[in-house]
Copies of this chain bind each other. A is one copy, B any other.
Amino acid sequence: MNSPLRIAIAGLGTVGGGTLKVLLDNADALESRSGRKLRVTAVAERAFGTIEALGGRLDGIKVYDDALALADDPEVDVIVELIGGSGGIAKTLVETAIAKGKHVVTANKAMLAHHGTAMGRAAEANGVTLGYEAAVAGGIPIIKAMREGLAANRISRVYGILNGTCNYILTEMRETGREFDDVLAEAQKLGYAEADPSFDVEGIDAAHKVSILTSVAFGCEIDFDAVSVEGIRHISPLDIEFAEELGYRIKLLGVASLTDHGIEQRVTPCMVPKTTAISSVEGVFNAVVVEGDFIDTTMFYGRGAGEGPTASAVVSDLVDIARGRTVPTFGIPATALTALQPATMDRHVGAYYVRLMVVDRPGVFADVAAILRDNKVSMESVIQRGRAPGNTVPVVLSLHDTEEAALKRSLESIANLDAVVEPPRVIRIEHL
């Protein structure tokens, strides 16, 4: 039997505590799968209450106040970074650990989105592993699937429901007909949303994950700034209702695709046909679809966050390290990653749902139709429910595939019509 793999955990919050629990509860099975013991030799945590709460679980384990000290501990082979934050101590710890020849496992998508390429290069130059299965879609082993399981394929597109908070909110809104703010408040009470929910509901968290998936899918450097991001704050019960009527569900999708104009990365609310598997992914669940030249379509579904699933992902990286299984950080050697050529969203071609709030009077629709015609945008359907002469009513347009630039021009003109009393609401329609 080989010597134990000596593990240090930096940050004993939900995921750190869960990681400790997996390593202790399933120690025998892990040893059998790894060919050696996985032993936690040190932890770093500043909150005394957290340390106290773990009680006997920390017996025989060194407890540091300063996470950076872990990088200097000669009895540590791998550091699990669960401190969080794109910079600060998390970044310093990872960089120092790699420089000192220690493996790193992290769940920190924000840090990878900003510094992942450099960190991957440093890790490979130093002959250590930078594992990050836990950073994308929690319990779903999507990084391993893409880097190894689907390695035979040229990937053309990867997309998914990457943020459980948003999917929970959208599911609840649809099922109960309630407003966004109301459901968000409830999600916060239930612990499904943070006190400051901006990162989740504005799509930033999903965008971090998209930028990482893009690098693995297409062998390019991570380019978070090139992700086009739109959150779900403006989604209304009215839009959800119209989506149902048109045969769609609204999901916040992260999409990375290879186009004729470069690589498109975006996070946007999308209407997906109710007949697709991804439309049935509800609540806090995540799902990732990968399209490749030989596998066609494959989907991976599971819990994207939470103590158990995220800890499971962290520990799977540890088992790989223990077994000596290595893979280039982003699928191909980090030195070979090319700069990402971003596709401008103006060139994006897709179908759209547009909801206008208009004063119900003769001639309004003729004006709208003329603007669309002038911009060569063609309509698939129009819904105007009920009549209310002189009052404001919703008019919903479903548009055939059109270039985003043409859509934007049309909407500017439409917004300027006297009878249009609110900015048009636009949601992409995805033909998956």
Residues of chain A touching chain B, judged by Cβ–Cβ distance below 8 Å, are 18, 22, 25-26, 29-30, 32-35, 133, 139-141, 144-145, 147-154, 219, 277, 280-281, 292-303, 308-309, 311-316, 319-320, 323, 325-328, 331-333, 336
Q: Which residues of B contact A309 (CB under 8 A)?
A: 294-296
Q: Please state if B325 and A327 are interface contacts (CB–CB under 8 Å).
A: yes
Q: Complex formed: what's the CA distance from A332 to B312 in Å?
A: 18
Q: Please state if A312 and B32 are interface contacts (CB–CB under 8 Å).
A: no
Q: Please state if A139 and B302 are interface contacts (CB–CB under 8 Å).
A: no
Interface centre among A149, A303, A315, A336 (most CB of B within 10 A): A149
Interface centre among A30, A34, A148, A331 (most CB of B within 10 A): A148
Q: Please state if B296 and A302 are interface contacts (CB–CB under 8 Å).
A: yes
Contact of A280 among B144, B277, B313 (CB under 8 A): B277
Q: Please state the number of chain copies in the assembly.
A: 2
Q: Complex formed: what's the CA distance from A222 to B88 in Å?
A: 50
Q: How far is the CB of A398 from chain B (nearest CB, A)?
A: 24
Q: Please state if B301 and A299 are interface contacts (CB–CB under 8 Å).
A: yes
Q: How far is the CB of A295 from chain B (nearest CB, A)?
A: 4
Q: Complex formed: what's the CA distance from A149 to B152 in Å?
A: 18
Q: Would you list 29 pairs from A and B whose C-beta atoms are within 8 A, ordered by A residue?
A: A30-B152, A32-B332, A32-B333, A33-B151, A139-B295, A141-B145, A141-B149, A141-B150, A144-B149, A148-B325, A149-B316, A152-B312, A152-B314, A152-B315, A153-B312, A277-B280, A277-B281, A294-B308, A294-B311, A295-B302, A295-B308, A295-B309, A296-B302, A296-B309, A299-B299, A300-B300, A323-B327, A325-B325, A325-B326
Q: Which residues of B contact A325 (CB under 8 A)?
A: 148, 325-327
Q: Please state if A293 and B26 are interface contacts (CB–CB under 8 Å).
A: yes
Q: Complex formed: what's the CA distance from A154 to B33 in Å?
A: 11
Contact of A332 among B33, B153, B292 (CB under 8 A): B33
Q: Please state if B294 and A30 are interface contacts (CB–CB under 8 Å).
A: no
Q: Please state if A300 and B297 are interface contacts (CB–CB under 8 Å).
A: no
Contact of A151 among B30, B139, B152 (CB under 8 A): B30
Q: Which residues of B contact A148 (CB under 8 A)?
A: 141, 144, 316, 319-320, 325
Q: How far is the CB of A413 from chain B (nearest CB, A)?
A: 41
Q: Which residues of B contact A18 (CB under 8 A)?
A: 294
Q: Please state if A29 and B294 are interface contacts (CB–CB under 8 Å).
A: no
Q: Which residues of B contact A139 (CB under 8 A)?
A: 294-296, 298
Q: Please state if A302 and B311 are interface contacts (CB–CB under 8 Å).
A: no
Q: Complex formed: what's the CA distance from A328 to B322 in Å?
A: 13
Q: Which residues of B contact A299 (CB under 8 A)?
A: 299-302
Interface pairs A-B: 6 shortest CB-CB: A141-B149, A298-B302, A152-B315, A294-B308, A139-B295, A299-B301
Q: How far is the CB of A83 from chain B (nearest CB, A)?
A: 21
Q: Which residues of B contact A133 (CB under 8 A)?
A: 149
Q: Please state if A145 and B149 are interface contacts (CB–CB under 8 Å).
A: yes
Q: Complex formed: what's the CA distance from A145 to B144 in Å?
A: 8
Known A-B contacts A33-B328, A277-B277; A312 and B300 likewise in contact (beta carbons under 8 Å) = no
Q: How far is the CB of A412 from chain B (nearest CB, A)?
A: 40
- Which residue of chain B has its CB nearest to the CB of A314? B152
Contact of A154 among B29, B302, B336 (CB under 8 A): B29
Q: How far is the CB of A348 from chain B (nearest CB, A)?
A: 26
Q: How far is the CB of A142 from chain B (nearest CB, A)?
A: 9
